[in-house]
């Protein structure tokens, strides 16, 4: 029997999210990894960047081919200290982490809609969150689980922004266009573009996750 879990990809935005997100506002962060130590009770976080990040508390530990690996440590805490930690405290390993221009994109799998809703709600209580992708696996015994979305919940401008962003590859991995490039095409500023995307995705998320 095929599992009935839901694979979610969410974007979390804001300089205060974590040091890596802060670094990504000035440099290209290529990859991220984390590990916990049972002896020091700390979590070590490493990220690879094209150049030295400015004003970020991290130590360069290795360099190669014009890139550097930076590391910082933070105490392991009972309360979630970052979006990754919050998702994992809810029982779901973060399967993939990508950081770009002030946004961390996290992929994880929840077992059902209610569990996913709980995680999204917990994230939104602390951060600015947008849904990137949502995929539900089919179950052999139950058949398809189709969700019909009424696009009229979106304003005409929100639909235009999403369609333009999609066509330009803003939601692709790796991105084919960043927020500023899409905003320039729409003749708006980047913050207005982000507001439209966030509002539209919130509406779609509510429609998809409603019982």
Residue 15 belongs to some domain of the structure: yes
CATH of the domain at 183: 1.10.10
- Position 3 scores a pLDDT of 55
For residue 68, count other CB atoms closer than 10 A to its CB: 20
Q: Give yes or no: residues 114 and 204 share one domain.
A: no
| Same domain assignment for residues 116 and 152 | no
Which of 77, 104, 130 terminates a domain? The answer is: 130
| pLDDT at residue 103, rounded to an integer | 87
Bridge-partner residues for 31, per DSSP?
A: 48
Q: Based on the fold, state whether residues 118 and 159 are members of the same structural domain.
A: no
What does the pLDDT read at residue 119?
92
Residue 140 has a pLDDT of 44
**pTM exceeds 0.95:** no
- Same domain flag for 125 and 149: no
Q: Which residues of the chain have pLDDT under 70?
A: 1-4, 15, 37-38, 52-55, 77-78, 137-152, 209-211
* 35 lies in some domain: yes
Same-domain check for residues 166 and 94? no
In eight-state DSSP terms, residue 28 is -
pLDDT score at 113: 82
Spatial CB neighbours of 148, under 8 Å, sequence gap ≥ 6? none
Domain assignment present for 137 = no
Asked if residue 65 is part of any domain, the answer here is yes
What's the pLDDT at 1? 42
Domain count for the chain, please give it. 2
Please identify, among 98, 130, 162, the residue that sits at the C-terminal boundary of a domain.
130
The Cα–Cα gap between 93 and 22 comes to 23
Q: Can you spell out the DSSP letters for 34-85?
A: EEE-TTT-EEEEEEEESSPPTT---EEEEEETTEEEEEEEEE--SS--SHHH
- Regarding whether 158 and 88 lie in a shared domain, the answer is no
| Residues spanned by the domain of 150 | 145-211
């Amino acid at each position: 029997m095929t599992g009935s879990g839901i694979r979610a990809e969410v974007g979390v935005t804001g300089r205060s999210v974590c040091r890596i997100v802060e670094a990504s506002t000035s440099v290209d962060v290529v990859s991220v990894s984390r590990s916990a130590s049972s002896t020091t009770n700390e979590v070590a976080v490493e990220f690879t960047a094209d150049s030295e990040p400015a004003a970020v508390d991290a130590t360069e530990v290795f360099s190669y081919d014009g890139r550097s690996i930076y590391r910082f440590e933070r105490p392991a805490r009972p309360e979630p200290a970052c979006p990754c930690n919050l998702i994992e405290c809810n029982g779901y390993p973060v399967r993939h982490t990508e950081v770009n221009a002030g946004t961390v994109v996290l992929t994880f799998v929840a077992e059902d809609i209610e569990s996913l809703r709980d995680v999204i709600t917990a994230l939104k209580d602390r951060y600015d969150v947008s849904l990137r992708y949502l995929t539900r696996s089919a179950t052999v015994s139950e058949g398809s689980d189709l969700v019909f979305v009424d696009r009229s919940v979106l304003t005409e401008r929100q639909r235009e922004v999403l369609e333009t962003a999609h066509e330009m590859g803003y939601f692709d991995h790796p991105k084919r266009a960043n927020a500023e490039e899409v905003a320039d095409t729409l003749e708006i500023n980047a913050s207005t573009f982000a507001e439209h995307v966030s509002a539209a995705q919130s509406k779609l998320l509510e429609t998809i996750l409603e019982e």
